[in-house]
Structure 1
Amino acid sequence: MASSLSSIILQNQKASAMTQPDPHGPLCDTPPEHRAPAYFACLINDAERLMQYAAEIGLDVSNETRHAILSARAIYPAEWTEEAAANLLAAVTTLANRLKPVTAESLKAYHDDTRPTVRSYLRIAIVLACIIIPVSVASFVTSALSVAVNADITKANALAVKLRAQLGPPQGPGEALAPLPKGLSEADLISDLQDYASTVRILNARARKLNYFIIPFHRIPSEDTGTPEQRKQRFELPIGIPDPIAARDNITNTYQDVRYFAQSILTDIAVFYGAITSCILPVLYALLGTCAYLLRSFEDQMGSRTFTPSAANSARFLIAAIGGAIIGLFNNFTVSPDASIPPLALAFLVGYAVDVFFAFLEGLLKAFTRNASASNPPPKVGPA
C-alpha cells in the first residue's frame, strides 16, 4: 500500500515537473534549440487581441496573417521554431499598421484598466468637490455679507451725522426738551430715528452671521447680551419717542460698539478669505479643470479604444497646480472692453488646457527676449 502510494506521488511530481514552465524557456524537458523566449507568449496574446478587434469591426485579415497567429498559438512553446517566430512578428506588424491608432496595449487597457482609471479620477473629483464647494460657498456668503455690512455702516454714519445736525448736542441731566428746529417736521425726525435704529439692528445681525465664518470668534458686544428686555432697550426706540435726543444718544452708544464689532470682523474676513481666494482656490480649480480634461479625454479614447494608462497624467496635475498658483497672483483678465474673466474661472481653464497656457507663457517670454534684443543691439565692429 505504501509502495503504491509513493509511486503515485512520484508520478504526480514528474507530471508537474513536465508542465512547470521554466523562466528561461517554455518547458524544462524541451531541448534548448526549441525553447521559445518568454516574451513570445505576450506577443501571441497581443496578436490575438488585435485579430479579435479586427473581426469585431469587420476588418478583413489575410489568411497568411490569421494562419501565422493561430499556428503560433498551437505550437507554442513545445514546437517553437524560428520560422514561426518570424511569421508571428510579420503578422503582428501587419495588424498593427492596419489598426492604427488602436494598439494591443490599448485593447488590453480597454478590458483591464477601465474601472481603476475611472475610480481614481472619480475619487480625485470627489475630494476636490468636497473642498471647493464649501470654501466657495463660504467665500461667496462672506463677500456678500461684507458688502452689505459696509453699506450699513456707511448708511448709519450718514444718519448719525444728520440727526446730530438736526437735534444738536446731547442734553445734560435735568435740561428741558429743546424745540424742533424750524423746517423740520416731527414725522421726518421719527422716520430718521427709526431708520437709524433699524440700520443698527441689521448691522448687528449681519456682523453676528459673519462671526460664524472666522476662527476664533469675536466677542459679541455687551449691548447684544443680557435679557430680551435689556436688548430691546438698547436697540429699540422707546414707544412714542418722548425724548428724541435721548433716543438718538441711546442708539448711538449701541451703534459705536456694534460698528467696532463689525469692522473687526470685516478685517479678519478680508485677510482670511482673501488669502484663500487668491492662493488656494485657484490651485483647486486648476486641478478640477485637469480632472475634467482627463475624464473627457478618457471618454473619447475609450470610444475609439485608444486609451493607455500613462504616468504623464500625474505630472499634468502637478503642472496644473503650478499654473493655478500663478493665476492667483493676478486680478481679473480683460478679454475685451466689456468682458473679463475672473481668476477662478481662468484657473479652471488653465487646468483644462495646461499646454495652451504654458505655450502662451513661452510666447510671452520670447516676445520679451525679442524686445530686449532689439533695444540692446550688439556693438558694431569697425575696421582695424
Structure 2
Amino acid sequence: MSVPTTPEFAGHGARGENEPPASENKGDTDADNGHGQPGPRVAADLAKCEALISHAAETGTLLTKEDVDAVRNARAAFDDGVWNRTIGSAFYAAMSRIAASVQYPGRRIVDDLDHCRDMVSYGAQNGRLLDEHDIEAMSKARAAQQDHTWNPEIESAFYAAMSRIAHAVTPVVAETAGEEAREGARRAIRIYTHSAIALTLLVVSLSCLLFVANQVSTDIAMVVKGNDTAALTLHNQLQAHAVAIAEADKKKDLAAIVALQNSQPALQIKEELQNFATNNRQLFADVSRISAFTTSLGLGAIRSPYKAPCDAEENVLNFQGAYRTSHSPKYYDGQVGSGDWQCNPDVARKVLEITLPLLAKPNAEPGDTNPPSDVDAVQQGFQKIAVYQDIRAMALYANDIILSIVGAVTGFLLPVLYAWLGACAAILRQLSADSAANTFHPEHSKVANRAHVTSAIIVGISIGLFSKLLEGGKDVSPLAVAFIAGYASDKFFFFVDRLVGAMFPPRADAPARPARPDGGAPRPPGPNGPSATSGPPKQAVARATLPGNAPLGPPPGA
C-alpha cells in the first residue's frame, strides 16, 4: 500500500490559474518538452518520494533544495498532464538521492535489515537451521521498507526473528557476516603479509650483516692476539740476528755473513716474518672492509688515532681510493706526496708486502749518499713490526665500532623487529582462522591487531631488561623494575600507599574525658578537681545504712 499524498504537497509547485501552460513556453520542436505519457509506476514513485520528503522533515534529515524542487515540478507536471523525459529524468535522479539520504524508515533499521540479510545468507550457505517463519518475517520487513509501509507490528516481528536468526548462526554476528567484514579481512591480510615480508627481509639483512661483523670482529681479535705474541718473539730474533751480522761484519768475514742468511735462526726468522706479514695484510684487509662500511654510513674512514688525518684523496682506507695502486696517474715514476704509509697507496703496498730476498742486504738506490749496510738486512722485519702497531691501533678502534653497533642492533633493534614479526605471524594466523569462520569484525579486529603490534613492540624494547632473569639469575635491573611498575602502576601506587602508612602511621586520637555525674562539662585536673592519684573527696563518701535504717558511721580513723 502506497503512502497517500497530502493535498498541500500535491498542489505545491503547480502552475497558477493565470499561468500559461508549459507547452506555450517551450518550442514544439523539442521532443523532450512536448506532452508525454508517464509510465505506470510514476504515480506510486511520486507518492513514495513525497513520503520520503515528509519523513525527512520529521526526522531532521537534510535534503537539497534542488531535489525537493525536482519532485514538486514532477508532481505538477504529472497532475497537469505535461510529463516529459526531462522532468522524469530529473525526478528519478532526485528520488535516488533522497532515498539514499533518508533511508526509510530509519538508518538503524536499514542497517539491521542488511545485517539480518547477511546472517541469513551465511546460515543458508553453511547449513545452519533457520526457521522459515523468521525468514518470512525478514522478507516482509524488507518489503515494507521498500514499499514504505513500515509499522510497529512489522518491526516487532522483524526484531524477534532477527534475534532467533542471530542465535542460530552464533558465533557469527551481524558485523562479521557481511561483505564489509570479508573485504576488511582481505585488506588486513594484505597489510600484514606485506609487513611480514618487509620485516623478514630487514631481519635477514641485519642478521647477515651482524654475522659478517661478528666474523670480522672475531678474526681481528684472533689475529691481534697471535701477532702480539709473534711481534715480541720476532723482535728478539731480529735483534739476535743483527748482533750476529755485526760480529761477522767486524771480522770482515763475507762468507759468514752470507752463511747467516740461510742459517737455522735465519730460516726461523723468515718463516716468522712471512707469517707476521701475512697477518698484517689480513688485519689490514679487515680494517679496510670496516672502513668501507663506516664510510658508506658517513662516519669516515678508519684512521690510526696516533697519527694526523690524511687528505681525503690520499687516505688508503678511503672508500673511493681504497683500491688505488702505484699505477694511478698521480703516482707515476714513483713520485709520492707523503711519507706516511697510510696516506700513500704505493708506500702502503711496500710496507705490507715482503721484499725478496729476505734477510739480505738492501740494494742501494741511485744517488743514495748513505748506502745500506749489512746490518740493515733486518730492518724489513722491524718495519713490519712498526707497521703492525699502526694497523693494530686501527683494528682495535674498528673492532670497538663493530662491537658497539652489533651490541646496539642485537640488544635493541633486532628484539623489536623480531617481536613485530612474531606479532604479524600471530595476527596472520588469527586472520586466517577468522576468515574461515566468518568471525572477523571490521572494527574490533582492527583495534585488537593494532594493540597486539604495539604490545609486541613494547615487549621487544623491554625484553633485554630481563635477560639475566630469563637466564636463571635473580638480579633485576632498575630499568626492568621501572617497566614492571609502569605495567602495573595501580599495584605500584598501592605499594607506595602501604609504605607511606608504615613509615608515617596516623596519629592516635586523644582519649575522651569522662563526663561529670551531674551532667556538667568535665573539669580539668587541678587543685579543685579530681586528681589521678587522689581518691574521692571526703564529702563525696556515701553513707551506707544498716538494716533498720541505722546510720553507719564513718570508717575508723576517718
Compute the TM-score of the two structures, normalised by the length of structure 1. 0.76
Is residue 2:439 matched to residue 1:303? no
1:260 aligned residue:
393
State the secondary structure of the residue aligned to 1:102: coil
2:32 corresponds to 1:5? yes
| 101 and 246 in structure 1: CA distance in 2 versus 1, 3 angstrom threshold | same
**C-alpha displacement at 1:226, in angstroms?**
3.0
Name the structure 1 match of 2:457: 321
CA-based RMSD of the aligned residues comes to 3.9
Give the corresponding residue for 1:294.
427
Q: Residue 94 in 1 paired to residue 164 in 2?
A: yes
Q: Which amino acid aligns with 1:216?
A: G
Aligned equivalent of 2:182, options 107, 111, 115: 111
Match of 1:74 among 143, 148, 159: 143
Report the CA distance between 1:111 and its aligned residue: 2.8
User: What displacement does 1:275 show?
Assistant: 2.7
Aligned residues between the structures = 352
Q: After the TM superposition, which of the residue ranges 124-133 and 319-328 deviates more from structure 2?
A: 124-133
Decide whether the 8 Å contact of 1:159 with 1:196 is kept in 2.
yes
Larger mean Cα displacement after TM superposition, 319-328 or 3-12:
3-12
C-alpha separation in 1, matches of 2:209 and 2:349: 29
Greater C-alpha radius of gyration: 2
Deviations 1:162-189 (A, max 9, x none): 22333437959x9456998xxx755444
Measure the CA separation in 1 of the matches of 2:486 and 2:431. 25
1:335 positional shift: 4.5
Q: Which residue of 1 aligns with 2:121?
A: 52
Q: 2:353 — aligned with what?
A: 235
Residue 274 (1) aligns with residue 400 (2): no
Task: Decide which of 201, 211, 218 is 1:147's aligned counterpart.
Answer: 218
Unaligned runs of 5+ in 2: 1-27, 34-82, 250-256, 303-314, 318-339, 362-376, 474-482, 512-558
| CA distance in structure 1 between the partners assigned to 2:96 and 2:238 by the alignment | 108
C-alpha distance after superposition, 1:193-218 (max 9, x if no partner): 22222211211111111222223222
Q: Does the 8 Å CA contact 2:359/2:378 hold for their aligned counterparts? A: no
Deviates more, 1:247-256 or 1:121-130: 121-130
Q: In the alignment, is residue 203 of structure 1 matched against residue 301 of structure 2?
A: no
**Take 2:485 and 2:449, find their aligned partners in 1: how far apart are those partners?**
18
- Deviation of residue 25 (structure 1)? 4.5
The structure with higher relative contact order (CA 8 Å, sep 6+) is: 1
Q: Residue 226 of structure 1 is aligned with which of 336, 345, 349?
A: 345
Tell me which amino acid in the other structure corresponds to 2:281.
R
1:39 to 105, 108, 112: 108
Q: Look up the equivalent residue of 1:96 and give its one-letter code.
A: A
> Is 1:158 equivalent to 2:229 in the alignment?
yes
- Asked whether 1:83 is paired with 2:163, we answer no
User: What is the rounded CA distance, in whole Å, between the counterparts of 2:484 and 2:424 in structure 1?
Assistant: 18
Distance (whole Å) between structure 1 residues aligned to residue 484 and residue 117 of structure 2: 42
Can you give the 5+ residue segments of structure 1 that lack an aligned partner in the other structure? 27-34, 338-356
Q: 2:462 corresponds to which letter in structure 1?
A: I
* Contact 1:24-1:38 within 8 A present in 2 as well: no
**Aligned residues: percent identity?**
23
Tell me the secondary structure at the aligned position of residue 345 of structure 2. Answer: coil
Change (3 A) 1:242 1:313: same
For 1:242 and 1:39, the matched residues in 2 are separated by 101
1:258 CA drift (Å): 1.2
The one-letter amino acid of 1:326's match is: S
Say if 2:351 and 2:387, in contact at 8 Å, map to a contact too.
no
Task: Tell me what 1:216 maps to.
Answer: 300
Conservation of the 8 A alpha-carbon contact between 2:287 and 2:398: yes
Q: Residues 279 and 325 of structure 1 are in contact (CA less than 8 Å); yes or no, is this contact kept in structure 2?
A: yes
Q: TM-score, normalised by structure 2?
A: 0.54
Instruction: Give runs of aligned pairs for residues 357-368 of structure 1, distance below 5 A.
Output: 362=488
Shift of 1:289: 2.0
Query: Is contact 1:220–1:261 with CA below 8 Å preserved after alignment?
Result: no
SS of alignment partner, residue 359 of structure 2 = coil
SS of alignment partner, residue 113 of structure 1: helix
CA contact (8 A) 2:185 2:431 kept: no
Higher fraction of helix:
1
**For the Cα contact (< 8 Å) 1:23–1:38, is it kept in 2?**
no
* Deviation of 1:251 (Å): 1.3
Query: In the alignment, what sits opposite 1:190?
Result: 270
